[in-house]
Amino acid sequence: MFIIIAGGGKIGYYLTRELLDKGHETVLIEQMPRKVAALTEKLGDVVLEGDAADATTLEQAGIVRADIVIAVTGHDEDNLVICQVAKRKFHVPQTIARINNPKNERIFQRLGIDSTVSTTKLVLNAIEQGIPSHV
pLDDT digits (tens, 9 = 90+) for 29-39: 999 999 999 99
SS3 category, 45:
coil
> Does domain 2-130 bear CATH number 1.20.1600.10?
no
Quote the CA–CA distance of 85 and 53 in Å, as a whole number.
7
Residues 58-106: tens digit of each pLDDT: 999 999 999 999 999 999 999 999 999 999 999 999 999 999 998 999 9
pLDDT classification of 121: cutoffs 50, 70, 90: confident
Amino acid identity at 120? T
Residue 133's pLDDT is 63
- Tell me how crowded residue 111 is: count the other CB atoms within 10 A of its CB: 13
* Contacts of residue 84, Cβ cutoff 8 Å, sequence gap at least 6: 111, 112, 113
Domain ranges of the chain: 2-130
